Structure 1
Amino acid sequence: MRWLTGWSGLTAADPALAAVRPLAGTLLWGGPDPLWAVGDWRPDELRLAVLRPGGPATVRGGLDPHDPADSADRDTPATLRLAVAGRCGATDRELADGLAAARGGALRHLTHWPGSYTVVLRAGTRSTVLLTDLAGARPVFHTPFAGGTAYATAALPLADLVGAPVDTAHLAARLATPETPETLGDRTPYRGVRRVPPGHALGIRGGRPGLTSYLESGAEERAEAPAVRELTRALLEAVRCRVRATGPADRPRLGVDLSYGTASATVALLAAAVPLPPGPGTGPGPERPAARTGAVKGSWARRAEPPEPETLPAVTLGDPDGPALAVHAPRLRHLLVPPAAPYADLADPLAGPLTDEPGPALVHAARHTAAHRAGGADHLTGHGARQVLDGHPARLADLVRAGRSLDLLAPLAALAGADRATAGALTGTLHTPVTVLRAARRLARTRYADALDDLALQLTIRQEPLPERTVGRALAADLAWHRPGPAAHLLADEPLAALAQHLRTAARGSAPTEAPGARRARLALHRHAAHYRTLVHATEQHGQRLHAPFLDNQVVRAARLLPDDLRLRPGARHALLAAVLAGTGRTDLPADWGRAPGPDPHAPARRGLRAAAPALVELLDRPLLAEAGLLDAPAARKALAAATDPAGNAPPGTLAALAELVAAELWLRRLTARRPGSSWTGLPAAPRPALET
């Protein structure tokens, strides 16, 4: 795990603080407000810029030897420092220009460069600003420390620094209402450690933190053609800045995921079309004699054979006979990796990695680790495409609100056709369109306060969600401002009652101005980005970098320009990605590309549950979640027994609930077994943290 950390505005006169620093950290700048980088950062992933009065901005690598003239002791209130950590496609000149523009207080332009990165800006000696990304894949955390504020790009080191215990109320909110800001707030699994929301800047002035949004308020939809062109440009730039990276030479430099979807296939084809830069240690080579023309006897032109292009491993998890999306490119070398089942390697729950936060990726870690081990030093994935490009079902209510009911005809007709093929002509032709249209109109006129009260009622009665028999009914159930999490009905009464009371109190506050569909889509993106971050922490190999270009700021901004009716068309994501590839010159894709049915996405989870049933029964025999008062252990064991029954077929909701619970239990056990304060040196000995109820 790689992270940045520092603090600002410390006022406590404690001599012991001078010895506190992150273990194995690299000092990026010193002074009273220092900044460190911790972990296996590459030289091109850390860049620093300094702007002093009366001179131009200078840019250097964060791991380069320090210049004595660049000492922080020479900083004045007019000195500006900029640190960019991660994969950023900006040139050194663009960083210098961006720092000069930030002198006047502008910040938004620092988030418009290609790539995925974190920005730290220090103005003078008493002001520090950190910028998060729009999706939430690169969050920032902060906590009070020694009269000032400590910050980091990971929450666990800050909990180590201040000795923060586990926040069980936040764990309950994550499990019961994972997409409801009223219950989640800015809290983290560690009490007292706060999260900066996506699309916000954390400003620390005089030691006091403050949040400012940099979201564009006037981003309006464009017509289809300009929006697709902007999406093509943004996605191509996102892939290019990854291809230009220079990783270690112990594995292929670049690799791609090639699953059964169009998102990973699009990223693979874009990456294969971008030429790789010269590898490490490959210089221009010895000079060759000038080519001869044959004008003199025996002087035929000597033509050097062009080197073969470096191939990219395209990794697919699956069986040799399983269906796969046909993708052909000269530089792609297809690798088929036998997949490990989810819930594998649970014989010792403490053997796996400890991530910054809990997430379902912990139960799928063994499955994805095999694919990433076979990939490249920079491994590109298609994570986030569904959340960035697809139209959330709740966007149907946005069309009703805007008086665009005619735009509902295409998605309703597609739903009717799908249900007509599976549930009969009457259901598909009549029941499905009527049910979905009623749900969309109901959501369009529902007050936000009433939606919070309805969610509180659902948590109170602890009703197990029933599997919907048709696609239309499942979509209609998702047409709401809020929905309980899949594991909500397995929690204990006390935390659910506390959350319900909190929701009823929040219902008295002001309602958001955002439309329900846009709000649900944004929160779903934030949740997926958090899950992807946990996946990176759990499965990324040493020296490897996993990339999700669809979660970049530029791609998210470009996707927000897409019209709602375009998003909601049947097969919209596949058509958009085919248009992106066509814009880059790949026009030989079939008309039905990506629309063929793939393998059952829930089959591996069912197989993994049955195979790991003994280990899961032992895990839930005396769970720490129950000891903390969060889990109804008998209900969880009953759900596990039903899901592992060979004669049964667990519905997707049950599978998701068990994945959330098992992941939270694994994370909690690994955290309590960890030695406190192991991220820092110079800290006084602290007692082991205990669970607080």
Structure 2
Amino acid sequence: MVLPDHGAAPAALRALRGRHCRTVPHASGRPWLVGCWSDEQLVLATAGETRLAVTGPCSLGPEALNARAAAVRSASDAEGAVRGAVGRFHVLASHAGEVYARGSASGARRLYRATLDGMTVAADRARTLAWLIGAEPDPAHLAARLAGPSLPHPLDSATPWRGVREVPAGDALTIDRRGGAATTAWWSPPPGELPLAEGASAVHDALRAAVALRVDPGRTLAADLSGGLDSTSLCFLAAAEGAELATATLHWSDPANEDPRYAERAAAALARRTRIARLVFEPRDLPPLFAGADEPDDPDDEPSTALRDRVQQRLIGEALRAKGATLRLTGLGGDHAATPPASYLHALLRRRPVAALRRTAAHRARQRWSLADSARMLLARGSYARWLAGASRVLRAGEPAPAPLTEPPGWGMRPRLPAWANDRATTLFCDLMDAAAENAEPLAAERHLHGWIRQLRQGGRTAARLAHRTAAWGLPLDAPFCDDAVLDACLALRPDEVCTPWSYKPLLTEAMRGVLPDAIRARTTKDHCEPEWFAGLRAGRAVFAGWAEDSRLAAAGLVDQRALHRAVSSPDLLSAGAAELEETLGVESWLRDIEAHPVPAHLRHHVRHHVRRGVRHDEEKDVAGQAPQTPEAAR
């Protein structure tokens, strides 16, 4: 947690007594950083009145950071001090009574703020702040979460807690001596002007540097090896850096699924480059999807669909740890980074109309867009605020939204709620959209860039959630595709060269030329686990039916209990697809987990204090007197 150089900060520290293991002071001696971290997780530099820290994977070591800290003349100078650093990290600074804090542009390192005793405080966990100020979930934002992936910016990054706000990705928080705060943008997207050949080289370099940062000589590195382009690329980049690998491959039951074949090819090629311990999991080797739904777990900062494979991923992580791995790479974020939305056609029409019309026809054929919808996408002129207000108006009027992915993208997917969401949920959600539309600004002026940044940050938020959860299990999951340098390298390309209806992931296939074997790089398909997904929903029907009968969402006045019960009883019959049901189950599960675990697991520790090397360490113990399994921060 980040505290201002304020007279009330010591009281906040006392509120966290027994809930943290380390404290770093401001130059004044008041507490600045409070939490639990290992020496590898936080690098601290001191120069006069300046305190500068980075947390998370970062290429700057103590010596380099100390040299840069000497040039800091104000807290906001911290941004210049870390310029050019590789990784994905928080930047934290204290100088002359002013505090500067920010996460990553991708959203994979998040930052939240709240008001405590009249001063602004910040943390990288929303639940830490919610517990500290006694916040409750906000029914309006719970209603919004039922919209799932159609939830529009800026509501998609809003926290479900009253009184806790996210500092938007790409913005920095400044807190003065009085505890007052302001946000300013520290990041902006690069011009999307590079041709594919030049831009792909930069993406290759950024990904290689990101993976190299995670490779530690002599340490076994775990990695997903699904057979898909994203995870397979990371495995080959890690092997090129000299990593010894322990890989995990899941085989799905669909005989048409091509993942196993490509994973076998990749494993054989990797074995010629490095030592590899390969784990292959058949469906019978793991519990079904949605297993363990009836076992309350420590909840994340916000609802998610993590319930789906929570038990499976924990078991896979344990198996990889048994191979000696201490970190696990995942291809999460690759889909988000490598391909922008087709809304680039809107801007392309104004620059190259013939090319835009030809591409639109090809996209229509592949994705079954109607001619009228395609024309509306190309000719639309309204602002983002106008689009958001219109989306609210359409939803409030009860007009049916098209099925997901069947309409051309404009500013975004049209928000929709499931059939079991009641009128109150619709009203609360639409009120949020109306309020946001009053001063809503897009993430970028052009529609495709707004959509591309939004989807990149969706991947980043998922990466942040999984990093926290898997760290608690003992094998942290890391997503190099969500590093800011990778984000910048991808956004620098011309969108019409990396989103084409005639080729699959052209950016990644070009960037991995010479890294991936050609037979793998030429893959043009992406597979799924749909049979297992529906089988898991069916297997969990009894649990989910019990939830519907005693629904926390129904108690909050947000869903029709009977309609929800019908949906969980017959998920195969849902006309809109079971994805909507999974989003609802994620919110329901999260509310139940909050009841079962009102104090976050990373705060449930007792400690005793000692001082070493000028940084206060509080040896922590959990309530049973045992050392906790991980150094999860009290953040």
TM-score, with structure 1 as normaliser: 0.77
Cα offset, 1:506, TM superposition: 4.7
Check if 1:191 corresponds to 2:162: yes
User: 1:334: which partner in 2?
Assistant: 278
2:389 equivalent among 415, 430, 453: 453
- CA deviations on 1:397-426 (whole Å, 9 max, x unpaired) are 23224455414534643653x47xxxxxxx
Of the structure 1 ranges 237-246 and 383-392, higher mean CA displacement relative to structure 2 is found in: 237-246
> 2:425 is matched with which residue?
495
Question: Are the equivalent residues in 1 in contact too, given 2:421–2:560 (CA < 8 A)?
Answer: yes
Which has the larger Rg? 1
2:487 is matched with 556
The yes-or-no answer on 1:370 pairing with 2:298 is no
> Residue 57 of structure 2 aligns to a residue in which SS?
strand
- The 3-state SS of whatever aligns with 1:34 is strand
Q: How does 1:616-627 map to 2 (within 5 A)?
A: 616-627=544-555
**In structure 2, do the counterparts of structure 1 residues 449 and 360 end up closer, same or farther at CA, with 3 Å as the change threshold?**
same
Of 560, 576, 581, the residue aligned with 2:512 is 581
Cα deviation for residue 379 of structure 1 reads 0.6
Quick check: 1:225 aligned with 2:197? yes
Identity score, percent: 26
Task: Quote the offset at 1:591 in angstroms.
Answer: 8.0
SS of the aligned residue for 1:222 comes to: coil
Give per-residue Cα distances to partners, 1:73-111, cap 9 Å, x unaligned: xxxxxx111111111122334323432344364344426
Query: Is the partner of 1:640 in helix, strand or coil?
Result: helix
**Counterparts in 2 of 1:626 and 1:314: CA distance versus 1, 3 Å:** same
Aligned to 1:263: 230
- Out of 192, 198, 216, the position equivalent to 1:244 is 216
3-state DSSP class of the match of 2:2?
Answer: strand
Distance 1:481 1:132 in 2: 25
In the other structure, the counterpart of 2:586 is: 663
Q: CA deviation at 1:621?
A: 1.2
Does the CA-based 8 Å contact 2:146-2:583 persist in structure 1? yes
Equivalent of residue 318 in structure 1, options 248, 251, 254: 251
Counterpart for residue 290 of structure 2? 343
CA distance in 2: counterparts of 1:135 and 1:16, whole angstroms: 30
CA distance in 2, matches of 1:519, 1:220: 12
Q: Report the residue type matching 2:58 in the other structure.
A: C
Does the residue aligned with 2:568 lie in a helix, a strand or coil?
helix
Task: Name the aligned partner's letter for residue 44 of structure 2.
Answer: L
Equivalent in 217, 240, 245 of residue 273 of structure 1: 240
The equivalent position to 2:362 in structure 1, one of 413, 425, 448, is 413
Instruction: Assess if the C-alpha contact under 8 Å between 2:8 and 2:117 holds in 1.
Output: yes
| Letter matched to residue 481 of structure 1 | W
Which residue of 150, 153, 165 maps to 2:124?
153
Task: Specify which of 54, 70, 73 is matched with residue 84 of structure 1.
Answer: 54
Q: Determine the C-alpha separation between the residues in 2 that align with 1:408 and 1:562.
A: 21
Deviations 1:532-574 (A, max 9, x none): 3333344446432211000001100111111111121246553
Per the alignment, do residues 172 and 363 of structure 1 end up closer, same or farther by CA in structure 2, a change over 3 Å counting?
same
Paired with 1:127 and 1:522, the residues of 2 have a C-alpha distance of: 30
CA distance in 2: counterparts of 1:367 and 1:201, whole angstroms:
37
| CA shift in 2, pair 1:381/1:463, >3 Å | same
Give the CA deviation at 1:7: 1.2
Q: Select between 561-570 and 263-272 the one with higher mean Cα deviation.
A: 561-570
Q: How does 1:52-451 map to 2 (within 5 A)?
A: 52=48, 79-103=49-73, 105-109=76-80, 110=82, 112-124=84-96, 126-176=97-147, 184=155, 187-206=158-177, 207-216=179-188, 219-244=191-216, 253-276=220-243, 311-319=244-252, 323=258, 324=260, 325=262, 326-327=265-266, 328-330=269-271, 331=274, 332-339=276-283, 340-346=287-293, 348-350=294-296, 352-375=297-320, 376-407=325-356, 409-410=358-359, 412-413=361-362, 416=365, 418=366, 434=371, 437-442=374-379, 444-451=380-387
CA distance in 2, matches of 1:192, 1:518: 30
Match of 2:42 in 1: 46
3-state SS, counterpart of residue 115 of structure 1:
coil
Sort the Cα spacing of 1:193 and 1:246 in 2 relative to 1 into closer, same or farther, 3 A: farther
Q: Please, what is the CA RMSD of the aligned residues?
A: 3.1
Question: Does the 8 Å contact 2:364/2:374 carry over to 1?
Answer: no
* C-alpha distance in 1 between matches for 2:62 and 2:16: 32
| Partner Cα separation in structure 1 for residue 18 and residue 372 of structure 2 | 56
Q: How has the CA–CA distance of structure 1 residues 315 and 445 changed in structure 2, closer, same or farther, with 3 Å as cutoff?
A: same
Change (3 A) 1:592 1:215: closer
Greater Cα shift, 83-92 or 135-144: 83-92
Question: Quick one: which amino acid aligns to residue 317 of structure 1?
Answer: L
Residues 481 and 487, structure 2, Cα contact 8 Å, conserved in 1: yes
Is the CA contact (8 Å cut-off) linking 1:258 and 1:264 kept in structure 2?
Answer: yes
Amino acid at match of 1:163: G
Contact 2:328 2:477 in 1 (8 A): yes
Measure how far apart 1:186 and its partner are: 6.8
User: Would the alpha carbon gap of residues 403 and 577 (structure 1) be closer, same or farther in structure 2, given more than 3 Å must change?
Assistant: closer
Aligned to 1:55: none
Moved more, 146-155 or 673-682: 673-682
| Equivalence for 1:531 | 462
State the alpha-carbon separation in 2 of the partners of residues 36 and 15 from structure 1. 13
Shift of 1:200: 1.0
Displacement after TM superposition at 1:316 (Å) = 0.7
Quick check: 1:455–1:484 contact (8 Å CA) kept in 2? yes
How far apart, CA to CA, are the structure 1 residues paired with 2:225 and 2:11?
A: 54
Amino acid at match of 1:457: R
**Could you tell me how far 1:336 is from its partner in structure 2?**
0.6
CA distance in 2, matches of 1:100, 1:527: 36
The answer to whether the Cα contact below 8 Å between 1:399 and 1:405 also exists between their aligned partners in 2 is: no
Classify the secondary structure of the residue corresponding to 1:44.
coil
Q: Aligned letter for 2:484?
A: N
Q: What letter matches 1:452 in structure 2?
A: L
Letter in 2 for 1:338: E
The number of residues matched between the two structures is 582
Q: Which runs of 5+ in 1 are unaligned?
A: 53-78, 248-252, 277-310, 420-430, 469-473, 683-693
**2-side partners of 1:13 and 1:367: how far apart?**
42
Aligned counterparts, 1:477-488, within 5 A: 477-485=407-415, 487-488=417-418
How many Å separate the matches in 2 of 1:628 and 1:169?
A: 10
Q: Which residue of structure 1 lines up, in the alignment, with residue 616 of structure 2?
A: none
Counterparts of 1:571 and 1:113 in 2: how far apart (Å)?
Answer: 36
Aligned mate of 1:590, from 486, 511, 519 = 519
Name the counterpart of 1:34. Answer: 32
Contact persistence 2:230–2:331 (CA under 8 A):
yes
CA distance in 2, matches of 1:439, 1:15: 57
State the 1:268 CA deviation: 0.8
Matched, 1:519 2:447: no
Offset at 1:508? 4.8
Distance in 2 separating the partners of 1:544 and 1:518: 34
Cα deviation, residue 260, structure 1: 3.5
Q: 1:268 to 1:398 in 2, by over 3 A?
A: same
- Provide the secondary structure at the position in 1 that maps to 2:291: coil
Deviates more, 1:653-662 or 1:311-320: 311-320
Displacement of 1:372: 2.4
Contact 2:251–2:281 (CA<8 Å) still a contact in 1?
yes
Alignment partners' CA distance in 2, 1:319 and 1:366 = 16
Give the letter for the 2:550 counterpart: R
Counterpart AA for 2:235: A
Aligned counterparts of 1:378 and 1:24: Cα–Cα separation in 2: 24
Gaps of 5+ in 2: 607-635
Q: Alignment partner for residue 641 of structure 1, among 562, 565, 569?
A: 569
The one-letter amino acid paired with 1:361 is: A
Relative to structure 2, which stretch is displaced further, 132-141 or 354-363? 354-363
> What is the rounded CA distance, in whole Å, between the counterparts of 1:498 and 1:172 in structure 2?
7
Contact conserved, 2:344 with 2:448, CA < 8 A, in 1? yes
Distance 1:224 1:380 in 2: 26
